Structure 1
Amino acid sequence: MIVMSDLFRVSLRQVVRQRGFGVILSIALGITAFIVLSVLGREIRYKVGQDMVLMGGVNVIQLYMDDAAYPGQPRREFYPETVEALRKLPGVGMVSRNLRGGRVFDLRTSGERTIRMDFIGIDQYFADVYSLTLVAGRLFDASDIERRRRVAMLGREAALMLYPSAEAAVGQLLILGQDVFEVVGVVSGVMLGSWGRGGFLPYTVMIDRNWAGGKVDRLFVRAIGWEDVTPLVKLIPEVVREHQAAPHMVIRTQEEQLARIQTTFMWVEALLWLGIVASLMLGGFGIWYGTFAAVRARTREVGLKKAMGGADADILAQFLAEALCKSLAGGVLGILLGVIIVEVGSWALGTGVSYPLLLASSVGSILFSALIGVAGGLYPAIQASRMDVVSALRFE
């Protein structure tokens, strides 16, 4: 029986001599992709998903009291304890208070033209919920809301209608009703829509003046990811009604866009895993074909070994060990590349690395690589071990 150390030393030499680097690389790429998706899959999915949802705002859930549509019903609002309870729900990123109705004011432009502009009441979280971009000035902060400061923000389109530039709008005074408000910032964003042609005031200021109904009758709930939207839609009514009466509360989401994103992610994820399987299968077929080619090229060598007393088990072990060395080399290379990409990817994404998961996926990868080597090399190795000695020695 051949010694194990000699078996693998000879097998490694044969692998280098056969130059099966394409097979090794194919297995390595499959293993690398498997490790990266296993360890960083959720973070990558979340980051890509955030970019997609921000384009359509599908992770923003609107809640509003629709009591005005029912004659005789009192006008209800969301209580502070309800808002706090919603913020504690799993999957909720933040909650923004809002006055559903707006207030329209007539404003004079720099060209002495009068335009009608709609203003809505918001809090300091609105900019984050709707991923607004600050064009000039600053955003509302908590002190603006709590101290009821007479400040305003303008959408970029609104600022350009009133002033020569967005920067020129900052510091300007707006006469709204009987009050004077200072423009402190100009914002824009894909999700703003028609709000980009209007303005924003602290919701507390609008409540004090009884503008837009004077009640917080709308909330914007931003889910952490698009996967959290559907569970939250089921949980939110229960939580709200635990803290207050809300018989005519309406929940609005962008269901069609959400369904399209879910379908897109399903296909992208399926294609990624299909690519991994295809790469590993290609490596397995490469080992199978390479081992067959090695058996054919070394037929006389096999016959000579058998003639000198080599056992069938030794022949089987040698060719199987060569196939195993190829697959394990690919597996080790794939693990090294995978660990490097995971470390770089976690740094780029700003997330931590789950080292127990990384270790488990690496161990699983090396075992799977060994399985590929055995599966791809077993049949050719059996064929080699069953060769007839005389036929093998006569082979040209």
Structure 2
Amino acid sequence: MITMSDLCRVSVRQVVRQRGFGVILSIALGITAFIALSVLGQEIRYKVGQDMVLMGGVNIIRVYMDDDQYPGQPRREFYPETVEAIRAIPGVGLVSQNLRQNRIFPLRGSDERTLQVSFLGIDQFFFETYSLELLAGRAFSPEDVKQRRRVCMLGRQCAENLYTDPKKAVGELLVLGQDVFEVVGVVTGVMLGSWNEGGFLPYTTMSDRGWGGGDVRRLFVRAIGWEDVAPVVRQIPKVVREHQDAPYLVCSTQDDQLERIQVTFMWVEALLWLGIVASLMLGGFGIWYGTFAAVRARTREVGLKKAMGGSDADILAQFLAEALVKSVAGGLLGIVVGTLSVEIGALALDTAISYPLLLGSSLGSIVFSAIIGVAGGLYPAIQASRMDVVSALRFE
């Protein structure tokens, strides 16, 4: 009976001699991808999803009172405690209060044209909710909203129409109704849409003047990720009605775009896992083919060992051990490279690493690599162990 130490030493030597590095690399690649996807998959999915979601705005939920559609109903507004309760819903990132109706003012541009500019009443959270970029000046501060200051901001296109250069707009004074407002900033962004041609006022300032309907009757709720949209939409009516009367509350989302993103992610994730499985299967077939080739090339050696008293179990163990060495070597290499990939990926994504998950993935990778080795090498090893001694010695 061959000893375990001799079996390992002979198996490693045979693997090096056979130069089965392609098989080892194939398994290592699959294991690397498996570890990286297992540990960082959720974070990568979230980051990429956020970029796609923010470009389409599908994680923005518009919540408003639709009392105007029903004659005789009072005009209901959102209470401050209701807004705070919505912010506390799991999955909610930001909540921005605004006035549902815009107010249009005539403004004279630099080319002496009179432009009809629409202004929206918002709070300080609006810009972060819609991921807007500040081109010049500053955004609204909590003090601007709380103290009802006469300040305004302009969309980029509006600033260009009025002053040619958006930077020139900061510090300018605009006459809106009977009051003078100072332009404190200019914003732009993919999600700005038609608001790019308009302006923004603190909703408290507009409400004091009776502009925009006067009351906070609409909220922009930004879910943390696209997966949170549906649960948040289900929770909002319940939470609102726990704090106030809201018979005609509406939660509006971009369902079609959200569904497209969900389907896209499903296919991307499926293709990633398919690539991992294909790489590991390629390694398994490589082990199977390589072991068969080794058995054929060493047929006379097998016959000689049997003639000298070697048992079928010894022959089986030797070829199976060689297959295991290849697969486990690929698994160990994959763990090393996968761990490095996780470390680099965590730095790039600015996220923490779940080391228990990394350890579990690594242990699982070793077990799976061993299974691939056994599955790929078992049948050829059995064929070698069942060889007839005379036929094997006569083999050319």
Is the pair's TM-score, using the shorter chain for normalization, greater than 0.5? Answer: yes
Q: Does 1:238 align with 2:248?
A: no
Taking the TM superposition and a 5 Å limit, the aligned residue runs for 1:144-155 are 144-155=144-155
Alignment-derived partner of residue 157 in structure 1? 157
How many angstroms does 1:384 deviate by?
0.4
Taking the TM superposition and a 5 Å limit, the aligned residue runs for 1:172-191 are 172-191=172-191
Question: Which one-letter code corresponds to 1:297 in the other structure?
Answer: A
**What is the TM-score with the length of structure 2 in the denominator?**
0.99
Which string of whole-angstrom CA distances, capped at 9 and with x for unpartnered residues, describes residues 85-126 of structure 1? 111111101100010101000001112111100000111110
Question: Which one-letter code corresponds to 1:112 in the other structure?
Answer: E
Which string of whole-angstrom CA distances, capped at 9 and with x for unpartnered residues, describes residues 226-273 of structure 1? 001111111111011000111111110000000100010111111111
Alignment-derived partner of residue 136 in structure 1? 136
Alignment-derived partner of residue 209 in structure 1? 209
CA distance in 2, matches of 1:7, 1:286: 22
How many angstroms does 1:13 deviate by?
0.8
CA distance in 2, matches of 1:171, 1:298: 87
Q: Does 1:192 align with 2:192?
A: yes
Which string of whole-angstrom CA distances, capped at 9 and with x for unpartnered residues, describes residues 319-343 of structure 1? 0000000000000011111100111
Alignment-derived partner of residue 310 in structure 1? 310
**Number of aligned pairs?**
396
CA distance in 1, matches of 2:208, 2:348: 46
CA distance in 1, matches of 2:344, 2:145: 41
Q: Does 1:166 align with 2:166?
A: yes
Alignment-derived partner of residue 296 in structure 1? 296
Which string of whole-angstrom CA distances, capped at 9 and with x for unpartnered residues, describes residues 18-72 of structure 1? 1111111111111111111111011000011011111110000000111111111
Taking the TM superposition and a 5 Å limit, the aligned residue runs for 1:81-96 are 81-96=81-96
Alignment-derived partner of residue 26 in structure 2? 26
RMSD: 0.7
Alignment-derived partner of residue 115 in structure 1? 115
Question: Which one-letter code corresponds to 2:10 in the other structure?
Answer: V
Taking the TM superposition and a 5 Å limit, the aligned residue runs for 1:45-124 are 45-124=45-124
CA distance in 2, matches of 1:182, 1:17: 80
Which string of whole-angstrom CA distances, capped at 9 and with x for unpartnered residues, describes residues 355-386 of structure 1? 00000010000000000000100000000011
How many angstroms does 1:6 deviate by?
1.0
CA distance in 2, matches of 1:125, 1:341: 36
Alignment-derived partner of residue 35 in structure 2? 35
Give 3-state SS (helix, strand or coil) of 1:2's partner: coil
Alignment-derived partner of residue 126 in structure 2? 126
Alignment-derived partner of residue 329 in structure 1? 329
Give 3-state SS (helix, strand or coil) of 1:217's partner: strand
**What is the TM-score with the length of structure 1 in the denominator?**
0.99
How many angstroms does 1:147 deviate by?
1.5
CA distance in 1, matches of 2:89, 2:137: 33
CA distance in 1, matches of 2:224, 2:338: 27
CA distance in 1, matches of 2:320, 2:90: 52
Alignment-derived partner of residue 266 in structure 1? 266
| 4+ residue segments displaced more than 3 Å | none
CA distance in 2, matches of 1:125, 1:349: 25
How many angstroms does 1:159 deviate by?
0.4
Which string of whole-angstrom CA distances, capped at 9 and with x for unpartnered residues, describes residues 286-340 of structure 1? 0000000000000011011111111111110000000000000000011111100
Question: Which one-letter code corresponds to 1:344 in the other structure?
Answer: I
How many angstroms does 1:208 deviate by?
1.1
Alignment-derived partner of residue 286 in structure 1? 286
Query: Mind listing any 5+ residue stretches in structure 2 that lack a counterpart?
Result: none
Give 3-state SS (helix, strand or coil) of 2:216's partner: coil
Question: Which one-letter code corresponds to 1:115 in the other structure?
Answer: L
CA distance in 1, matches of 2:294, 2:354: 42
How many angstroms does 1:137 deviate by?
1.0
Alignment-derived partner of residue 12 in structure 2? 12
Give 3-state SS (helix, strand or coil) of 1:185's partner: strand
How many angstroms does 1:75 deviate by?
0.5
CA distance in 1, matches of 2:353, 2:362: 14
How many angstroms does 1:138 deviate by?
1.1
